[in-house]
Chains A and B, each alone.
Chain A
């Protein structure tokens, strides 16, 4: 079924309904972690390593311990003696059997492995007292050589973990035919070989991470409030690593101000708060500061990519060979090792290639661990192939648009269940229409004329037009596929739909919103399914006591897995209600029809009952069919049979000031296809935010480490997150190719913008500079870097 945008139905699938969440958010009624306080709570202050790699020789906590308001100061060694943990912090994705996974303790007992590693924790009555005491803890270190970059890790001269024999953590490959691939390269008419750097990014959600653990000493249970995307996973992992029984732990994610992957981890602070609160019988809390986050929250990207393309004389691809060196950072966190592999299946992009080979090596460095960040592996993949395709187009001497058309899967015609060279099946796709629409929206023909005019006039402000035609893999994930990839958990999602006695509906969502608008979208699904007003629907989520089962929100999975579970649970409620209606009508269930929320008997329209009226019948249970259980409540755990593969075309337009090197993004056009859309306004919002995050990588953001592996720009003054002022008004449109993976025909869209935009922007920057013979530009394309490239291309400084 292909759903087009519905402007008549105010609240069903396809409607641009305003978000239910926004009233609470804009009036400040929403409670974030820092808004929640309990009597007697203690603040943690973290004493963090200032060295990237060192052995702790002594820690003097005496001055700190005697400061006002300080309850205690505990070092890693003392905590180790207290027997608080059953296991180190978890890594759920050991990608190979021999992957190295050095222990990651919440507080380091002996050797620190990155700046920001916790060496001691202060507990104090206030945040200020904790911060004052942290300053008084004196730590002495014996410095060890630090591994400050991927290149240094590969050199293996210094070891990030001295008890490992190499910095290499694993090698992972999909190389079905290495000899055939090599033969294709040997026979190629054209080849390009590119080296791209995916710089490290700081996720910088608007709300920093924070945690509050509240024990109930008499009850024996403990509630962990955390600014997390993954309350369910956190609960399981806390039980597994602390030994506190799972049935004693409740996890609540209050309003969460953005995550982008950075809040899907199992962090030292969360574990510490839980075990200390449990041991002390007092509430324990912590909120990271912005600068602290550079060492206390995982970072994104961090790869060197080697991409080789081979083609025939016409630019038709004959082989793609990719080698990635991925920076794990200091430890394997929840999905650190798997993150680069999430892109592994996509390095051929939207193009057919007879030969394909992908290898990834993971490397330890003495830097903050990496893990998922919006797109997680897929922005890197689409950047690599889309940048490399432009470079191939220069080599072949044809237009970047034309080279894409020549290589599209199935010749750009629609397809379903296409097997890619890595052995997975793309659910559905139709690539040409997004390209045609984007070219038309951006008026690329007109822009090319303007570009030529500026070149002819020798203007110092040159135009660049960049294209990206991406595909991504989302809707994570079929549990068996995850098992095959050695991921520890499944990929299903759970939902319960309850028709209450008064006819209102309660939806229990296993996926966990942190800004996406689940309450709105789930209400719209129920509205269409059950024929009721979305105002009659309440969504319960983000609390393991209200929503005991779930696998949370990441990987653009909420709608394509969780939303589908909700629609399936609604179907089950309707089916049971149909039996009650049939019983009331004294008709056979198969004769009872359901339209617009009402049941009626085929052929006798006078007999009719609205589904909301049956809530009370099911509740009172006075007159139900023989043997039927009371109440209308149904649940579904949906395990998707496949991933979903959204796609689209983005066009970026930049103006490059050749004298200063300044790059201004002056136009952005995005045509995305995420299948059927539940709320097109929410889709556009996701695309806007995603595009900005990718453009930010292209032009602004980079976590810069010095030779001693210190981060040099942890504050938002130096780590340049762009604002609306730097962005053009983004123009969006969509095509609709329904997914074949799920009954709603939906795909995800949470990461698509980021996956498409970095390549589009850099392709545009390079396009502007082509007259200088420039073929590539490192990210971020800073003014100094751009100016230097122009100078170098013209034989030195001018």
Chain B
């Protein structure tokens, strides 16, 4: 029986090649999209699962109330003293409690060669907590004060094939360390993937003894990170309940009032949420983040598959006349309806099986490209039986879904009607088909418009006025002690090359604000209840000239005024925040009685998320803790040439430092990377969805043309022109597409408006987007349908009539 079914199914497929190609091709494309999205989603959901205890590991965050907006803010920085309290008093809750610095770029020196690597100082238990796979050494490898463990990549980069164990290296030319272990590179979908080496925490403490002496006693230096692993029997709720009052129980008496007012408390933020739930709501609770996109992609995947199934249904039912005779005969030799349903279902399952083969091949061929696009390193998990079970399950389900309607439809034919030849797929039988086409096009249009709006929003944000001139700016991190005191030397040498406009140093690169605070600052008219919070930027005198500051009022720092060493420049947002109409000339008063005059008001500089409003910030002169050198290359200079000359100057002035620079322009571009990646992915899937819908339309059009061959022939003989016929054949499809547009546009408008609400800095949706979408849809439909229509219209009528 099955053999008979398969045989006839196979012969039907091979005899109607064009139809089979459209059917299988569309389904295969749809499946390939689903498999790819499946891999992508799997990769997202397995983020950080590399660590055995991922469900128990957490980072300590803090929550505090923003006294202006009353919103609760959550942030990952912690203070040293809080860490000490957890270590000393919370061992009932945590098996591991680990201090860490922020991840940063460091220059590692081996044998006189410099290598820039991303690293982190962390307490030695981290290796065990994070269950690293040690290639060399053990979890105890980081225990020595000066120990460093390298990732495999870093080890190869620095030591080549040599065994690095026991080799000494210098970190940033100031810390002597010994390589004690090598761990296997972490998978890309891991929060620590970009960290290439870990050094013992004690090394950084020993390196800056004065700083740490202070840090160990104060309760306001938020410079550190802190990780914990919960005891197996402790859940997050319990741990967080216990952490809630930490500051009040252990904090110094004089700070309690401030803690109280801001409701300051630490909490453990689970590793499993770091990646997908990275946004916090107004209550400071993790809500969404990337997970929105994960759901979005799952939805796209399902939609695409449904579109492909619809093609299958439409083409199968459209061709029902051809199959009806078989149905009639089978019924007259004794088949009942169930057997026929079963037959057609097995046929569609066979087709989806074949489509699966094509889909897998397609995925296999395109996965490198897809990885590039997604910024991941996904592969088909060949050895995972669960994966195959779900693939086959999904294929079966697809076959059933796609085959159900045609099977029921075909098997219900009455044998006398079909055999007598009075069976005609009547006008009404095309109605479900039309509904499905409308659905397909509506979905395709929604996806297309959605993607276009995502891209428009990205472009819109990119074009946002950023308050400075980022072109030709390069930035270099410099914390090499050899450089100390050489500011003027370096700057003069650089300017003397003739390719450099100016140079400055700042405490944060242009793409970030690393220091925040100012709780003790007050000004005239300040609400005494308010604890101010500013972005704080330390800069040198040449900052304004280098970055192209745009002043609204007042003036830039100047070496001509000695008093400028205690002056500040604020941005527009700060003026607003402070409630000052004319801020220039008024003063910042500090807790210790000092004051600083506000000498300038600049336009807002976008330094953090380009999607968010610019934070209030102030700038003041400091030549000490300014680790970022910013250089403006003359616009007329050739970039590569200028870089070479700048590097030469660096080699002379700070020979031990690695010249590791980045263009601010590119850094700005990177802020859009994740959005752009998602946008590109969505774009590709949308194109495929449209392609699938067009395939279906193409198939339907060819069917309609075939069905109306005789009518076309008669009309032609009676004098209809090719144009008339083309109009006649295309008109139906055009009206379907217009209906699709009418359905799709309000829906996509609603959803995209909602989506845009996520961005403080957002565009408004232009009606042009929709007009273009409608035109595009019509154009694509016409192109798809016209091929068949014209083919039918120019065919020789004598031929088509003779076939009767």
Instruction: Judge: A and B partners, yes or no.
Output: no
